[in-house]
Amino acid sequence: MDNNSSEKNIPVSKNYQENVDYLNKELGVPDSFDIVLREMSVGGKRIAIYSVNGMVNSQVVSLILDALIDLERSDLIVNALDKLVKGRIVNLQVSDARTMDKVFYFILSGPMAIFVEGQDKAIIVDVRAYPSRQPMEPDIERVTRGSRDGFTETLVMNTALIRRRLRDPKLRMKLVQVGGRSKTDVCIAFIEDVTNLEMVSKIQKDIQAIKIDGIPMAEKSVEEFILGSKLWNPYPRVRYTERPDVAAIHLLEGYVVILVDTSPSVMIAPSTFWSHVQHAEEYRQEPIVGAYLRWVRFGGIFAALFLLPLWLGAALNPQLLPGWLDFIGVTKPAKVSLLAQVLIAEFGVDLLRLGTIHTPGPLGTALGLIAAFMLGDIAVKVGLFSPEVVMYIAIVSVGTFATPSYELGLANRLSRLFLVIMTGLFNFWGFWIGAALVFFLLWRTKSFGVPYLWPLLPLDLQAMKAILVRSPVPIKNQRPSILKPQDQDRQP
């Protein structure tokens, strides 16, 4: 893919017409209807104003035009920028750009660019008013009590939601651009005296080294560039969240948060397996209730991963079961082998999930009823499925949906399919070999140098206790040791 954009790093000329001709050619004026050019004469000087229709606040633009009309000729000779800042435009961010690549970046990002005849720089006035939706609670991270705001597709709004929760002068928001043509804004957020700055520096260098025309898939494209895409590893190495409170607490613990413009999901790095099994709901209830919810969630995740292959192994080898487990198995054999039944049911659930995603909201309930009653019930009656298969598929599906991280749920689904196939082909030996391979994969996985199974491997008893038991916030006064640049305790 060609990474070179059409604009070149050429300086802004003092020749007004030369600048206008070049900008009109590169921006496609008047062919591109959304690129707005306003030309006027003020104090005997020609002025050209470039902006993008739909990305500027029209009322503010009108005030700026009034301020420009009031300028005298003497104001436009050498110090128009100072005059605008000090005397006219006092509530807006004003800067200058001396090269055309900077001018293109600012214009296409939303600010307005003003060219004054005889000056070798453009005045950049930030009048952005992006089309955006209001912050709403994300669908997949709902809580019974707590804040109802969530990240949106606008980067500035997302950083403001974090700043509102962390009024710390040490909170840093570093901005870099990704994409030779898209120039997408990517923000790296961290707390300077808490986060490991070497990790921050590495993440920033990796993002700046991305060479591609654009990143329309936003944060996922950035993740694959900075972590690499491993074909045989489905497990997520960063955590995604759409909740500002979740991002804020991770910043306080020393994590790095990566925000990409146009995406409501932010990345939290580094990430471990245990980062994906915790949910904000656990911290919105009493500690004992939160601990109970966490263990119920752990049970659901365990069932989603291991229950179906274990049942399949037991059903294929009923003679190995003790007497008190003789209810496990198939009481009424179907016309299709158990392994084929399980695989068909697994693919059917995934097909139903995809169909639900693409089904309009009012028809989603109807689709669920069709799947539950017509497909499942009729499949059992005609002898295609055994009733036990339908039951266990339903249990593991609930466990998958109970997994807080959608990405981890998908990864566990693929691991479960692998374990089912291994068990169906090689009985319990296949299950244990498959489980060992999955564990080896997790053991070998790292996220920005952090072992994926930490604090289990390497073992950190204090951190592992915090994973297993939801501790009260007042006594949880240690940051994760593996993230500390030095031995720092949480400050009151």
Residue 13 has pLDDT above 60, yes or no: yes
pTM: 0.85
Domain membership flag for residue 466: no
Asked whether residue 321 is domain-assigned, the answer is yes
* One domain, residues 339 and 446: yes
- When pLDDT is averaged across residues 231-252 and rounded to a whole number, the result is 92
In three-state secondary structure terms, 114 is: strand
484 found inside a domain: no
| Average pLDDT score over the chain | 85
Residue where a domain stops, chosen among 76, 92, 125 = 125
**What average pLDDT does the segment 403-429 reach?**
94
Q: Which of 5-9, 69-73, 270-274, 371-375 has the lowest mean pLDDT?
A: 5-9
d(CA 425, CA 447): 33
Q: Helix or strand or coil: residue 304?
A: helix
Asked if the structure places residue 462 within a domain, the reply is no
Give yes or no: residues 230 and 194 share one domain: yes
pLDDT at 487 over 60: no
Q: pLDDT higher for 91 or 358? A: 358
CA separation, residue 252 to residues 166, 193, 249, 461 (Å): 9, 10, 5, 21
Same domain assignment for residues 32 and 162? no
Percentage of the chain beyond pLDDT 90 is 46
Q: What is the pLDDT of residue 3?
A: 44
In the predicted model, what is the mean pLDDT of residues 204-209?
A: 93
**Core vs surface per residue 23-34: b (16+ CB within 10 A) or e:** bbeebeeeeeee
Cα 397 to Cα 156, 194, 259, 277, 390: the distances in Å are 37, 39, 31, 16, 10
Same domain, 149 and 82: no
Q: Are residues 102 and 154 in the same domain?
A: no
Question: According to the model, what pLDDT value does residue 80 have?
Answer: 56
Please compute the mean of the pLDDT values over residues 188-204 and round it to a whole number: 93
Residues 428 and 296 placed together within one structural domain of the fold: yes
| 348 shares its domain with 399 | yes
Asked whether residue 487 is assigned to any structural domain, the reply reads no
Number of domains the chain contains: 3
Question: Are residues 264 and 287 both part of a single domain?
Answer: no
Whether residue 361 is found in the same domain as residue 439: yes
Please indicate, yes or no, if residue 479 is contained in any of the structural domains. no
Average pLDDT over residues 312-335: 83
Strands 446-447 and 256-260: unpaired
DSSP state for residue 31 in the 8-state scheme? T
Query: Is the model's pLDDT at 391 over the cut of 60?
Result: yes
Residue 24 has pLDDT above 60, yes or no: yes
| pLDDT tens digits for range 78-93 | 555 555 554 556 667 8
Query: How much of the chain exceeds pLDDT 70, in percent?
Result: 88
Q: Which of 3-7, 115-119, 414-418 has the highest mean pLDDT?
A: 414-418
Lowest mean pLDDT: which of 35-39, 79-83, 125-129? 79-83
What pLDDT band is residue 244 in, cutting at 50, 70 and 90?
very high
Domain boundary among 271, 292, 308: 271
Q: Quick one: 25 and 83 in the same domain?
A: yes
Is residue 68 domain-shared with residue 88, that is, in the same domain? yes
The DSSP-derived string for 261-292 is: TT-S-EEEES--GGGGG--GGGGSS-HHHHHH
Would you say residue 368 lies in a domain? Answer: yes
Q: Which of 390, 393, 374, 373 is nearest to 332 (CA)?
A: 390
Mean pLDDT of 234-248: 94
Same domain, 108 and 197: no
Within a domain: residue 6? no
Is the Cα torsion angle 375, 379, 385, 391 positive or negative in sign?
positive
pLDDT level of residue 449 (50, 70, 90 thresholds): confident
* Confidence class for position 16, pLDDT limits 50, 70, 90: very high
Residues with Cβ within 8 Å of residue 353, at least 6 apart in sequence: none
Radius of gyration of the CA atoms of the chain, in A:
29
Boundary of a domain, candidates 271, 294, 325: 271
Q: What is the pLDDT of residues 299-317, one digit of tens each?
A: 999 999 999 999 999 998 8
**By residue range, what is the domain housing residue 174?**
139-271
- The answer to whether the beta carbons of residues 402 and 391 sit under 8 Å apart is no
